[in-house]
Chains A and B, each alone.
Chain A
Amino acid sequence: MTPYPPSLERVIQSLVKLPGIGQKTARRLGFFLLTAEKEDVIEMAKSLEDLTKYIQFCENCHSIAEGSLCEICKDPHRDQGTICVVEEPADIFIFERTGFRGLYHVIGGVLSPLDGVGPDDLNLQDLLKRASTAKEIILAINASIEGETTTLFLTKLLADQDVTVTRLARGLPVGGNLEYVDDLTISRSLSERVKVNNG
C-alpha cells in the first residue's frame, strides 16, 4: 500500500486515539479535513490547543475548570452542604440537567483491578476531607460491577463520618451507564435516593 503523506498520516494516527474511532473512520475523517474549509480546520486545531492550555482540574471538586476553581464551586448560591459524587466530569452535566443545585466531587474513575485502578488512583482523600463539613454525600456512580464496588467501598470509608450518605435509587438499569439513561429516570433516582448510613 502506498503510504499517505506524513502530515496526513499524523492526523490519522491522532484521530485513531479517540474512543470509538478505528483506522477506517480515522482515514475517512482525515480525508474529510483535507477538503474542509481551511479556516474551520485551523479553528479546530486552535480550539484543541486552547483546551490543553486553559482547561485544568478544579482544586476543590476535580471537575474541569478554567482557573483553579470550576464555575460550580465558585457559585455561592449553590447548596454547599450537599455533595454529589460522580465518576467523571461529564457526569456532572447529566445531573445539572435534572436541576440539582448542590456541589459535586469527581473521583476520576472506579475501582478496577483489571485496569490497575486502586483506591490510591482515585480522588478519595479530599472527598473525606470535604465530607467532614458536609450534610449529605450522594453517591451517584454508575451501576456497573466496578461502580458498585466503588459505591460500597465509599460507603464503608464514610461510615465513621458525621454525614448522611445516600445513593441513587435503584431503578437505574443494572450495568447502566448514566450517560445513556434518560433525564427523567436520573431525576427520579436522585429525588428517591436512599440512605446508606446512620450519619
Chain B
Amino acid sequence: MLTSTDAIALKVTPYSESSLIVQLFTRDLGKVTVIAKGARRQKNPAGAILEPMSLLTVDFYHKTSRDIQTLKDVSLASGALKIRRDLKKLSLGLAITEVIAGVIAEDDPAPILFRLTWKVLQSLETTEGFDHLLFLFFLLQLAIHTGFKPNLETCSSCGKVLKTAVFSNNSGELECPSCNRETGLVLGGHGLAMLRKLTVTHIENLGELTGPREETENAVSFLTAFLEFHIEGLHKLKAPEILRQIGI
C-alpha cells in the first residue's frame, strides 16, 4: 500500500554504494524505517534532504511484513539549515531525536508526540535565544503526554508543599529535602517555579520565560533523570552527557 505522511528524520545511515537507510518518526505510523534507493548518488536531491531533524513529507510502500519499507518520494517541509550552523542547536536537536527515538515504537502512531517534536524542531530552526528552554519544554511535554507528569507541587513522601525538590532514585518522584537526604539531583525554588510555569506556557510564548541559565540547565538534568527513570527505552541517554561535555 502506498502511504503518504509527514515525517521527521531521526537517523540516516549509508547503505551499500548508493542508498540510505532512514529511521523516521511518521505522523501516521510511528517509527518507520525506509530505504532510499539511489539517494547517495550525487545528483539525487533526496540525499541532501534526508538528514536527521529534517521535517519531511514521505511516500513509501508500506508492507507490515517487512522491517524496511521502500521510500518512493520525499519532499522537504523544513530543513535544519540554521540548526546545522550552530553547535548548541545541533546538540539540542540531536538530543531531541535521541530522546524521541527511545520513546516511540513501530506501528504505534503517536500523533501528539509527533506534533510536539515537529513544532519544537521547527522552533529550534526559526527562533533565537531560548534553545535550552525549548529543550526543557520538549522534555516536560513529553513527560506529560506519556503519562508521567511530574508532581511539582508536593513532596511524594510527606505531602508538604515543595520549596526545593530532590529527585528520588528509589521512587523516581520528587521529595522534600527533609524526606530525602540523598546527595542526588536537587532543584531549587527558581527551577521549580520555572517548570511549573512551563507546564502552562505555549511554545510560542517561551521567550517570556526567563531565568538564570544554570537553572534551566539544572532543570534539564532533573527532567532527563526523571524521564530516564520512568520511560522504558530511555535508560541512559547519551545526549545530555554530550551537552555537558560540549559545555553548552
Instruction: Convert A149-184 into 0s and 1s, putting 1 for each residue whose CB lies closer than 8 angstroms to a CB of B.
Output: 100110110000000000000000111110011100
Residues of B within 8 A of A13 (CB): none
Q: Which chain A residue lies CB-closest to B102?
A: A114
Q: Which of B26-34, B91-99, B137-145, B155-163 contacts A (4 or more CB under 8 A)?
A: B91-99
> At the interface, yes or no: A148 with Cβ under 8 Å from chain B?
yes
Instruction: Convert B16-33 into 0s and 1s, putting 1 for each residue whose CB lies closer than 8 angstroms to a CB of A.
Output: 110000000000000000
A19 to B98, CA, bound (A): 23
Given contacts A114-B101, A118-B238, 12 further A-B contacts (CB under 8 A): A20-B16, A112-B94, A116-B238, A145-B84, A145-B90, A149-B91, A174-B48, A175-B50, A176-B42, A177-B14, A177-B40, A180-B42
> At the interface, yes or no: A144 with Cβ under 8 Å from chain B?
yes
A112 to B242, CA, bound (A): 9
A156 to B86, CA, bound (A): 11
Residues of B within 8 A of A128 (CB): none
Question: Are A181's CB and B42's CB within 8 A?
Answer: yes
> At the interface, yes or no: A111 with Cβ under 8 Å from chain B?
yes
Contact of A145 among B15, B52, B239 (CB under 8 A): B52
> At the interface, yes or no: B136 with Cβ under 8 Å from chain A?
no
A177 to B242, CA, bound (A): 23
Question: Are B87's CB and A173's CB within 8 A?
Answer: no
Given contacts A113-B98, A175-B48, A181-B42, contact A20 B242 (CB under 8 A): no
A116 to B239, CA, bound (A): 8
Question: Are A156's CB and B87's CB within 8 A?
Answer: yes
> At the interface, yes or no: A119 with Cβ under 8 Å from chain B?
yes
Most chain A CB atoms below 10 A, which of B53, B239, B247: B239
Residues on A lying within 8 angstroms of B by beta carbon are 19-20, 111-114, 116-120, 144-146, 148-149, 152-153, 155-156, 173-177, 180-182
Question: Are A113's CB and B51's CB within 8 A?
Answer: no
Q: B109 CB to closest chain A CB, in angstroms?
A: 21
Contact of B47 among A20, A112, A175 (CB under 8 A): A175
| B interface residues, tally (CB under 8 Å) | 37
> At the interface, yes or no: B80 with Cβ under 8 Å from chain A?
yes
Can you spell out 13 A-B residue pairs with CB atoms less than 8 angstroms apart?
Answer: A112-B94, A114-B94, A116-B238, A145-B90, A145-B94, A148-B90, A152-B85, A153-B246, A155-B87, A156-B87, A175-B48, A180-B40, A181-B42
Residues of B within 8 A of A153 (CB): 87, 246
List the 9 closest pairs (A to B, CB-CB), nearest first: A113-B239, A152-B87, A113-B98, A20-B16, A149-B90, A113-B238, A174-B48, A145-B52, A119-B245
Question: Are B95's CB and A113's CB within 8 A?
Answer: yes
Q: Which chain B residue lies CB-closest to A116?
A: B238
Q: Which chain A residue lies CB-closest to B95?
A: A113
A112 to B91, CA, bound (A): 9
A145 to B96, CA, bound (A): 14
Question: Are A20's CB and B91's CB within 8 A?
Answer: no
Contact of B98 among A114, A119, A180 (CB under 8 A): A114
Residues on B lying within 8 angstroms of A by beta carbon are 10-12, 14-17, 40-42, 47-48, 50-53, 80, 84-87, 90-91, 93-95, 97-98, 101, 237-239, 241-242, 245-247
Question: Are A144's CB and B246's CB within 8 A?
Answer: no
Residues of A within 8 A of B11 (CB): 114
Question: Are A113's CB and B94's CB within 8 A?
Answer: yes
Residues of B within 8 A of A149 (CB): 87, 90-91, 94
Contact of A119 among B48, B101, B242 (CB under 8 A): B242
A152 to B93, CA, bound (A): 14
Q: B199 CB to closest chain A CB, in angstroms?
A: 26
A50 to B55, CA, bound (A): 47
Q: B149 CB to closest chain A CB, in angstroms?
A: 25
Residues of A within 8 A of B87 (CB): 149, 152-153, 155-156
Question: Are B242's CB and A114's CB within 8 A?
Answer: no
Residues of A within 8 A of B40 (CB): 177, 180
Most chain A CB atoms below 10 A, which of B11, B90, B239: B90
Q: B247 CB to closest chain A CB, in angstroms?
A: 8
A181 to B14, CA, bound (A): 14
Residues of A within 8 A of B237 (CB): 113
A177 to B13, CA, bound (A): 11
